[in-house]
Amino acid sequence: MFNAIVITKHDEQLTELTSIDKSTLSNGDVTVDVAYSTLNYKDALAICQKPGVVRQWPMIPGIDLAGTVIESSSDRFAAGDKVLLNGYGVGEVHTGGLAQIARVKGEWLVPLPKGISLKQSMAIGTAGYTAMLSVLALEQQGVTPSSGDILVTGAAGGVGSIATSLLSKLGYTVIAVSGRSEQTSYLKTLGASEVLPRSDFESSAKPLAKERFAGVIDVAGSNILANAISQTQYGGVVTACGLAAGMDLPTSVAPFILRGVKLIGIDSVMAPMQDRLAAWDRLTKDLDLSMLDSMTQTVGLNEVQELAPQLLKGQVRGRTVVDVND
């Protein structure tokens, strides 16, 4: 028996921390002794019984996990290997990482990169891996530090915090957007040159506004993304990786056909393994691990349900690592 957060559905959904056995786990060819997981926006949605995330019950949430292989019939991994996992529907259609044991497919696992610990890999987690995919997309489209300012929305959250730190270390000028003015000093510590209030981006967007940003990393969607696009300079690149403000995009084609703006979607869930490995390799080189520690809190499984609604309300800063054995 081992501990896990389990979401069940009968007449209504119920989330509880309970003791289970391996029969609750989804099928897979690798069993992992989980050391750490994380609390992400998607996990919080699932834990708070918001629709659209969990599609099979019972479900263990947790889109991230890191630990040690204890059983394997995969030719990629053997008992004792240190591994991590991000996405692939884990925590949605396949039991996830907010448990002391996980059973997954070996083809989903990434070997723990050299130079980082299991705990640090989860401090990075899907948020940091998504941020790195976004940075790589800007680079691949030719956006360099000399191109101009880079806007990061939701900057005090997980993706935004790591994106701000990464971009700053790489020499970019970062303009952060946050709905929490009290986080200004935190964001400047991460490397933001300027912090703009979220309210500047929440009203209906003009088709074209004054050109300001060479690139954008957006986690919000809706009017925030629309306003960011309208302010992107000629030939600029906007990456979209989240929908915290909504799934809609109330804009026009004007920025794309009159300014040649590019909108790049960032999918971290089903990204090919080669892209994952490239992102994790760059994270080990480009992310300031001491800065990572400063933006990370660690909690136990018994604290996750209390934190989840706070995260959805934007009250949790940076990254939250879950020590599943605490």
Interval 219-232: pLDDT, tens:
999 999 999 999 99
Pick from 36, 52, 33: nearest CA to 44: 52
Mind listing the domains of the chain with CATH numbers? 2-112+295-323 (3.90.180.10), 126-265 (3.40.50.720)
Q: Tell me if 45 sits within 8 A of 326, measured CB to CB.
A: no
Q: Which amino acid is at 265?
A: G
- The percentage of the chain sitting over the pLDDT mark of 90, rounded to a whole number, equals 95
pLDDT over 90 (residue 13): no
DSSP-assigned letter for residue 97: S
Q: How far is CA 244 from CA 19, 25, 89, 177, in A?
A: 32, 30, 19, 13
DSSP secondary structure, 13-36, as one string = EEEEEEEE-GGGSPP-SEEEEEEE
Give the CA count within 13 Å in the CB-facing half-sphere of 201: 31
Pick from 223, 237, 127: nearest CA to 177: 223
Helix axes 273-286, 118-140, angle to 10 degrees: 100
- 314: Cα separation from own chain's centroid: 14
DSSP secondary structure, 182-235, as one string = GGHHHHHHHTEEEEEEGGGGSSPPPSS----EEEEEES--HHHHHHHHHTEEEE
pLDDT band at 306 (very low <50, low <70, confident <90, very high): very high
217-272 per-position pLDDT tens digit: 999 999 999 999 999 999 999 999 999 999 999 999 999 999 999 999 999 999 99
pLDDT over 80 (residue 11): no
Q: Tell me if 87 sits within 8 A of 271, measured CB to CB.
A: yes
142-168 per-position pLDDT tens digit: 999 999 999 999 999 999 999 999 999
pLDDT band at 51 (very low <50, low <70, confident <90, very high): confident
Separation of alpha carbons 219 and 194, rounded Å = 18
| End-to-end C-alpha distance for the chain, whole angstroms | 16
pLDDT band at 9 (very low <50, low <70, confident <90, very high): confident
3-state class (DSSP) for residue 304? helix
pLDDT band at 60 (very low <50, low <70, confident <90, very high): very high
Q: Tell me if 117 sits within 8 A of 36, measured CB to CB.
A: no
Separation of alpha carbons 153 and 9, rounded Å = 35
Separation of alpha carbons 182 and 234, rounded Å = 33
Q: Tell me if 157 sits within 8 A of 190, measured CB to CB.
A: no
Residue in this structure with the two tokens 């990393």, named with its chain if needed: 217
170-208 per-position pLDDT tens digit: 999 999 999 999 999 999 999 999 999 999 999 999 999
